[in-house]
């Protein structure tokens, strides 16, 4: 029997209405949020709705888009690959797009990265990294072993590494993970270093490494995205990475969000002297065209698996691993990323953020104005301590949408992480929306009187 909700529906009905009958959206509470906006096409930094409304995609559609929507050179690479080789099993076979993409990634990532393992999204890139680290430990024969096997994983507080079980286990325990709590493995959290706490964090981190002999430290370098666009500096991160190295703790950088220019350099970990042992990539890897994940690692990690024992290979693989279409898109995107034009766009966005931040710091109702590379964030100071469940979130989201801006706040945190083709004029639309939001909804406004 066909589903009653689908029977009799006409494709002339709006997308939004047809969607409501059949689709379950991610991170969406439909009865609280109302119907989704139907989008029919996109160009540059803009999404175009079925009702003709346009939205500036200032969050790069969940941080994936790099060069603008439907970028013609990437679209052409995808079309050509689709007519050549759309997919082939990635065990025992290989192809040009995967090899070329791996070569490009290793030429751009920190120097010690020597191998690329493909999966299909950010969470799986993290799962692969965790499994690599855990299995690597069990393959060690010569490593100076602590009294007990290394098991503990360290993470930053407010971390977010994805929605699969391993990735949830190493993420902050909050509303998002609460229903699954009993099924997650234990990890230890340390605060990310700030100007105020850095010395304490360094000694806490060192003590933890000495006492518990952790297996790995998994971290979002420089910017913790979903945790609220929290930023720390490269020097402090470098100190933690040096301690981890000295204590024999593997360093796993999750650059799923920060990778591909977001923090100003190709990768955030290029700003630290210490290199990570393992690196997780996705999102910008395919510039928003297709799902793809990659986990890269150092020679030391890879060589431990390179044994003639059939029971010792890496126990992981996905059906779509190394998909040629996704890899071809990744190659086209990486080739665009390194052009002078794209690097200039990244620098111009970073400079515009810097100027805007200076002004926004003086706006009443805004606090914690911060920026790293192409990412700028502000907190709307409405007197509530709550972060993600701050009641201002939905008000802000609607306020920005009403101005044609797709700025999806994280609780009371509004942020911009734009495609690199976004113009200065388009950025100005966002800055002035932040200013108006501070004045309208922040402390001192009519809606949220000051709680001082």
Nearer to ligand PLP, 187 or 443 (CB): 187
Nearer to ligand PLP, 95 or 283 (CB): 283
Nearer to ligand PLP, 365 or 409 (CB): 409
Q: Write phi, then psi, for 159 (nearest 5 degrees).
A: -75, 155
Nearer to ligand PLP, 225 or 264 (CB): 225
Nearer to ligand PLP, 168 or 334 (CB): 168
Neighbours of 152 (CB within 10 A): 18
| Residue 441: CB minimum distance to ligand PLP, A | 25
Residue keyed to tokens 């390179």: 306
Rounded to whole angstroms, how far apart are CA atoms 47 and 26? 19
| Residue 318: CB minimum distance to ligand PLP, A | 13
Q: Write phi, then psi, for 137 (nearest 5 degrees).
A: -60, -40
Interface residues with ligand PLP (CB under 6 A) are 121-123, 126, 160-162, 220, 225-226, 254, 256-257, 282
| Residue 227: CB minimum distance to ligand PLP, A | 9
Exposed/middle/buried for residue 348 (C-beta within 10 Å: 0-12, 13-18, 19+) = middle
Q: Do the bridges between strand 250-254 and strand 278-281 make them parallel or antiparallel, or are there none, so unpaired?
A: parallel
| Residue 257: CB minimum distance to ligand PLP, A | 4
* Gyration radius (Cα) of the chain, Å: 23
Rounded to whole angstroms, how far apart are CA atoms 376 and 371? 4
| Residue 220: CB minimum distance to ligand PLP, A | 5
| Residue 327: CB minimum distance to ligand PLP, A | 17
Nearer to ligand PLP, 224 or 298 (CB): 224
Beta-bridged to residue 417, according to DSSP, are none
Q: Which residue is at the shortest CB distance from ligand PLP?
A: 122
Non-local (6+) Cβ contacts of 60 within 8 A are: 66, 288, 417, 418, 419
Non-local (6+) Cβ contacts of 381 within 8 A are: 365, 366, 367, 412, 438, 442, 443
| Residue 65: CB minimum distance to ligand PLP, A | 13
Nearer to ligand PLP, 224 or 382 (CB): 224
């Amino acid at each position: 029997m066909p589903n009653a909700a689908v029977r009799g529906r006409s494709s002339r009905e709006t997308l939004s209405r047809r969607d409501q009958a059949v689709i379950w959206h991610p991170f969406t509470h439909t009865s609280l949020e109302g119907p989704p906006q139907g989008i029919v096409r996109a160009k540059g930094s803009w999404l175009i709705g079925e009702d003709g409304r346009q939205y500036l995609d200032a969050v790069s559609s969940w941080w994936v888009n790099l060069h603008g929507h439907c970028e013609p050179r990437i679209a052409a690479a995808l079309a050509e690959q689709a007519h050549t080789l759309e997919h082939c099993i990635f065990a025992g076979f290989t192809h040009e797009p995967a090899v070329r993409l791996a070569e490009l990634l290793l030429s751009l990532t920190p120097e010690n990265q020597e191998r690329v393992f493909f999966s299909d999204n950010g969470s799986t890139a993290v799962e692969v990294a965790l499994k690599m680290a855990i299995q690597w430990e069990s393959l060690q024969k010569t490593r100076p072993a602590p009294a007990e096997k290394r098991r503990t994983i360290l993470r930053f507080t407010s971390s977010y590494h994805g929605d699969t079980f391993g990735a949830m286990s190493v993420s902050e325990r909050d509303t998002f993970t609460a229903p699954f709590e009993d099924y997650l493995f234990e990890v230890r959290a340390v605060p990310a270093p700030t100007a105020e706490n850095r010395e304490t964090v360094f000694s806490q981190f060192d003590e933890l490494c000495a006492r518990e002999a952790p297996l790995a430290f998994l971290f979002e370098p420089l910017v913790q995205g979903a945790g609220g666009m929290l930023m720390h500096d490269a020097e402090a991160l470098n100190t933690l990475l040096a301690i981890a190295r000295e204590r024999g703790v593997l360093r796993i950088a999750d650059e799923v969000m920060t990778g591909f220019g977001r923090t100003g350099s190709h990768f955030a970990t290029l700003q630290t002297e210490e290199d990570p042992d393992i690196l997780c990539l996705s999102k910008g890897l395919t510039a928003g065209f297709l799902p793809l994940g990659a986990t890269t690692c150092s020679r030391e990690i890879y060589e431990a698996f390179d044994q003639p024992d059939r029971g010792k290979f890496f126990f992981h693989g996905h059906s779509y691993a190394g998909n040629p279409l996704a890899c071809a898109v990744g190659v086209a995107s990486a080739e665009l990323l390194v052009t002078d034009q794209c690097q200039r766009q990244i620098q111009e966005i970073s400079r515009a953020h810097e100027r805007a931040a200076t002004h926004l710091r003086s706006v009443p109702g805004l606090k914690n104005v911060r920026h790293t590379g192409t990412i700028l964030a502000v907190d709307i100071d409405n007197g509530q301590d709550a972060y993600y469940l701050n009641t201002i979130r939905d008000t802000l989201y609607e306020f920005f949408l009403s101005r044609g801006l797709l700025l999806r706040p994280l609780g009371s945190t509004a942020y911009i992480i734009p495609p690199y083709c976004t113009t200065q004029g388009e950025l100005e639309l966002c800055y002035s929306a932040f200013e108006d939001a501070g004045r309208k909804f922040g402390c001192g406004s009519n809606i949220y009187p000051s709680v001082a």
